[in-house]
Amino acid sequence: WYRQCSIIPYSKDVDLGIFIQDYKSDIISAFQDAGLPLKHKFGKVEDSLELSFQGKDDVKLDIFFFYEETDHMWNGGTQAKTGKKFKYESDKFLQRGL
């Protein structure tokens, strides 16, 4: 939304963000059972976890996990071709438990 201010019609990937506290160990098998095979997994639960699943018609689902610090949030990213890691920080954007 931020990049184009609407759905990006030519993009074939969907990005979701989930709080790491909501991570469940069976998430990969749940998506695979729903017909979305794991394309790649970067990072670890305690450090910048990112999951990508392959959907139909070359649509890819990326799940980024958000980590909460005292005064900000952050999520990690990994460049698939090089393995280079990134850390994206932002203001807290949602209070848990609302």
Domain boundaries, the chain: 13-90
pLDDT for 93 equals 73
pLDDT at 84 over 60: yes
Closest CA to 36 of 49, 55, 19: 55
For 90, list phi and psi in degrees, rounded to 5: -150, 165
Q: Which residue has the higher pLDDT, 79 or 34?
A: 34
The mean pLDDT value of the chain amounts to 87
Residue % of the chain over a pLDDT of 90: 48
pLDDT at 80 over 50: yes
The answer to whether the predicted template modeling score (pTM) of the entire model surpasses 0.85 is no
Contact 29, 37 (CB under 8 A): no
